[in-house]
A and B are shown apart, each in its own frame.
Chain A
Amino acid sequence: MNPLTKKILLAGLGVSLLAALGFAIARSGPLAPIKVTVAKVERGEVVPALFGIGTIEAQRAYLIGPTVAGRVLRVLVDVGAPVKAGQLLAEMDPVDLDQRVASLDASLAKARSAVAVAEAQKQDAASKRELAAINARRYVDLGTQKFVSQSVVDSRLQEEKSAQAGIDAAEAALAGARQDLGRLEQDRNGVREQRANVRLLAPADGVVTAREAEPGSTVVAGQAVLRLVDPASLWARVRFDQGRSNGLDVGLPAQIVRRSNPQAPLSGKVARIELVSDAVTEERIAQVAFDVTSNAPPKALSIGELVEVTLNLPAAANSPILPNASLRRLGSQNGGQNGEQTGVWVVEGEQLRFAAIKSGVSGLDGRVQVLDGVQAGATVVVYSERNLTADSRFKVVPSLAGKRP
């Protein structure tokens, strides 16, 4: 190799080394331009939607238990059993109620006898009065013809009145006996009602969901022996974040995704919105009923299962739309003059300009309606490698991800 080529070669090597150094310093580290991706603002419709999670609950659930404290005698149904309205489900120990019914039955028989006695006494009194009346008439006649003295006539008349009083007494005794009978009958009916009350009956058609007491256990008044739900009344109790519950309304169509089967969402409707929202968790509560035509038979639903509910609201008016990843905050510490602002970085040639925007509704897909601040057709920064400032150097690339670290 002659010295000249060697010299040129070495010079080339040095120049390329310096070039590589310059490139390394300028293209990596803090001095490098920030890679960004951009998008054109388009017009379109944002379909706002609400998303909440909840659990499946029964609208109608029943606690079946005694009204007085007592011991469970028998429980006839088990968890999962379908029951009909009026069906005997369980029975409490009646203790002495049967004996009290028998005792009252005996008292009733005795009272009936007492009524019979009183009736007989009344007849006796009536016959005595009849005789007294005949005697009295006869002596009054004899008295007018002066065959008997007036004192004898008076005596007969007094006898007649006495007999009449005897009838009144007998009638009163009869009424008393009848009232006694009536009272005892009511007593017996009352005890029978109590007896019937220890039989726990199904108030409606449903399915047994819990069997909380077994025969022999003592329960207090109001404590449940069995729990029933009406499987036809299952709905989802859904919680929506207050901050994102705008537009929540009765009748909104809902898509319900169950945890057990996320591939087959069910359709439903908002059935009720509770007036009181949860102040602690900052959530609103709504009940979403399943559509009757929904292809899920009630048995596929389980109470307490987690569901994710999406409510689609009516689409917002046609307006410029931005992806939510393009929204940035410009705080006072990085260049905002009047407090913090929310906006986008608009690309104008080789310059960046921060445009504060007023955003409207946003969809679950991350698209945000723009009310003011940026027009359709503007080019905005969507993704960036680092936080941008107005004098950042930047380089537009098609995409930033996909490049694994």
Chain B
Amino acid sequence: MISLAGRDILHGWAKFVFTGIGLGLLIGVTLSMAGVYRGMVDDAKALLDNSGADLWVVQKDTLGPYAESSSLRDDIYRDLLGMPGVARAANVTYLSMQVRQGNTDIRAMVVGVTTGQPGEPGEPGYLVAGRQMTHDHYEAVADVKTGFALGEVIRIRRHDYTVVGLTRRMVSSGGDPMVFVSLKDGQEAQFLKDNEAILNDRARTAANPALNRPGVPGLLDAIQASQASNHNVNAVLVRVAAGHDPEMVAREIRRWQHLQAYTRTQMEEILVSKLILTSAKQIGMFLVILAIVSAAIVAFIIYTMTLGKIREIAVLKLIGTRDRTIAGMILQQALGLGLIGFSVGKIAATLWVPIFPKYVLLTPEDTLRGFVAVMLICALASTLAIHAALKVDPADAIGG
């Protein structure tokens, strides 16, 4: 038995292939859009993974440190280390800022981490080049997305930092690449004012007669020194000791330390369902519209393809071909078109995903789901065309 569909495709193969490619590019866009959404969620999860923490301890009544600002004294980690179930606790500061790079600047999140012991919470867990920080000051580990190379100098506030290591996929919840510096540098970067502001503050303090009393030498100096120092951090990352339930440890911290502590699940909830909620909905809405449009276009393409060979179908009917054979031909063509389109779309998406500025994640589940959806849409769309083909009067073959 000969394949009617195969014959027909061979007959107008160029038209078929190019239609498939065009359809494929559209499917590629849809897949990428799903990837953008997955990428956003994954960015948020990567932030949590990379911080290597089981608990995030932040200022009371805040959703910090990512969704809200939070400020803690930097010696709180010692209290936390004394609590049962806490294996490690490390201070961390987060600061989103524009980092100067040559003549331009890039948006980055400067993270101040406790360095020294390998695997401190907060420290980048793996590198793609260079080494971890060994100095307490003026070294940085940057994400490759920042565009910095090893040995280059990053200027943050008034200090130059040498890039000694590069990481990958170290991003903030907004997808900004991270720059890791030591905790002390991070504290300084966060709270250090520019020179003019410092001078201004000094003058203001000196002009205050209550703080600059003539009979008390040294008072002014002491006040100004206390204004210039900073012992705050944004969060303490806690790792729970083996055999302890993070939620129990978090409860103890909340109860006795008068701080807020979030577990991984709660943090994910904050990031995914609060921080990126509207952007995710935006993308999701677009994805739905794109899927509907794609389905409509596939249906119309198959319909017009069928209408294009309506005369041939009439001839087939005239020579006594059964309806089932004709319907099979149209369905096979539609599915073939879907197959080509899906393949082209997947390949195209894979090719253009790396050049997106933010992370785009194409998951195998999404690919599978997309494949099923494409096939389903093609099959449904072909019913329209089958209906049209079956309605054709065989007399049309000779008339017209």
Which residues on A are within 8 Å of B, measured CB to CB?
3, 6-7, 10, 13, 17-18, 20-21, 24-25, 28-31, 51-53, 218, 220, 222-224, 240-241, 243-244, 280-281, 308, 323-325, 327-329, 331-333, 338-340, 342, 359, 362-366, 368, 383-388, 399-405
Contacts and interface: CB of A to CB of B under 8 A. Distances in A.
A365 B347 contact: no
B134, B165, B215, B350, most chain A CB atoms within 10 A: B134
Contacts of A240: 136
A338 B242 contact: yes
Interface of B: 9-10, 13, 17, 49, 52, 54, 75, 87-88, 116-119, 125-132, 134-138, 144-145, 147, 149-150, 164-166, 168-169, 184, 214-215, 217, 231, 239, 241-242, 340, 343-344, 346-347, 350-351, 353-354, 361-364, 367
27 contacts: A6-B10, A17-B344, A17-B347, A24-B351, A25-B364, A25-B367, A29-B361, A29-B362, A51-B137, A323-B131, A324-B134, A325-B130, A327-B132, A328-B118, A328-B119, A329-B52, A329-B125, A332-B242, A359-B118, A365-B131, A366-B132, A384-B126, A387-B49, A400-B128, A401-B129, A402-B149, A403-B144
Given A31-B364, A340-B119, 5 more contacts: A10-B13, A244-B116, A362-B134, A383-B126, A399-B129
Contact of A340 (B166, B215, B239): B239
Given A24-B346, A24-B350, A324-B134, A29 B52 contact: no
A24 B217 contact: no
A325 B131 contact: yes
Contact of A241 (B17, B129, B136, B367): B136
B125 A387 contact: yes
A364 B135 contact: yes
Contact of A220 (B127, B164, B214): B214
B136 A51 contact: yes
Contacts of A333: 54
A53 to B, nearest CB: 5
B169 A386 contact: yes
Given A20-B347, A30-B363, A383-B126, A401 B166 contact: yes
Contacts of B17: 13
Contacts of B346: 21, 24-25
Contacts, number: 151
Nearest to A63: B217
Contacts of B132: 324-325, 327, 366
A342 B118 contact: yes
A328 B125 contact: yes
Contacts of B128: 383-385, 400-401
Give the dominant DSSP class at B's interface: loop
Given A24-B350, A308-B137, A366-B164, A387 B118 contact: no
Give the dominant DSSP class at A's interface: mixed
A325 B127 contact: yes
Contact of A17 (B117, B217, B343, B361): B343
B353 A21 contact: no
- 3 closest A-B pairs by beta carbon, nearest first, are A329-B119, A366-B131, A401-B129
B343 A21 contact: yes
Contacts of B135: 51, 364
A377 to B, nearest CB: 22
A108 to B, nearest CB: 38
B198 to A, nearest CB: 14
A220 B13 contact: no
B134 A364 contact: yes
Contacts of B354: 405
A324 B129 contact: no
B10 A10 contact: yes
Contact of A53 (B87, B137, B231): B137
Contact of A327 (B54, B119, B150, B353): B119
A333 B214 CA distance: 62
B350 A28 contact: yes
Given A24-B347, A244-B116, A327-B119, A51 B364 contact: no
Contacts of A342: 117-119
A53 B185 CA distance: 12
A383 B343 contact: no
Contacts of A21: 343, 346-347
